Amino acid sequence: MTRMPTSNTPTTATVDDAPMVSRTLARAFGDDPMMRWFFPDEASREAGLGRYFTTLLTRQYALHGVCERTDAAAAFWVAPEGQEKAVPDAGTVQELADILGDRADLFRQAVEGAAAHTPPEPHWYLAVIGADPAARGQGHGSALLRSGLAQADAAGLPVYLESSKPDNLPVYEHFGFAVLGEVALPGGGPTLWAMRRPPRDLPAA
């Protein structure tokens, strides 16, 4: 059967896009070491990830971040001016705890451990990016990455991210990121790599 082509042109993702975005990201992160650690049960992992990403989009990043999607990928960014507001409030923390169950405390420790490596300089933060594996090779993730990086470059600011998937490091390095350091997550969790990309000069008009 011929696969239907999907558009990889970035568009703004809103709260109304939550069903599509959360489904896409749940598939994208199904083999991510950190998400497999947070959601160890394979039978319920995709459903749990769907709820997790729905909460992040609707309660956090759609309100205080820059969220974009294609037909098969999504990315959540936070500019410097939104980072203080993007910190989860008590209701969001409780909702995530309900979703994570007995892994909630490990999640909290992981967030705190990663936060210790956040650079103090003003920067754009790439919180989440993922593409549906069924659309691999169609440029969805790259299109979203270029879109966000262009916005950071326009502001003259670096970009920071964390990744727990070793295979993704060369991809990010291709886009100008370099590893700042490694974070050993608590409780025998996977390694998290902190990465930074300096701003690039935009071509003259």
Instruction: State the pLDDT at residue 5.
Output: 56
- For residue 169 the two structure tokens come to 């490091």
* Residue 58 pLDDT grade (very low, low, confident, very high; cuts 50, 70, 90): very high
pTM exceeds 0.85 for this model:
yes
Instruction: State the pLDDT at residue 4.
Output: 47
Q: Considering only CA atoms, which of 65, 101, 68 is closest in space to residue 83?
A: 65
Domain ranges, ordered by start, for the chain: 11-197
Q: Who's near 48: CB < 8 A, 6+ residues apart?
A: 39, 41, 99, 100
Instruction: Given CATH 3.40.630.30, say whether it is the number of domain 11-197.
Output: yes
Per-residue pLDDT tens over the stretch 131-152: 999 998 899 999 999 999 999 9
- Please give the Cα distance from 40 to 198 (Å, whole number): 35
Instruction: State the pLDDT at residue 170.
Output: 96
Q: Considering only CA atoms, which of 182, 158, 162 is closest in space to residue 172?
A: 162
The mean per-residue pLDDT over the stretch 83-99 comes to 88
The mean per-residue pLDDT over the stretch 32-43 comes to 94
DSSP 103: G
The mean per-residue pLDDT over the stretch 157-173 comes to 96
Q: Who's near 3: CB < 8 A, 6+ residues apart?
A: 134
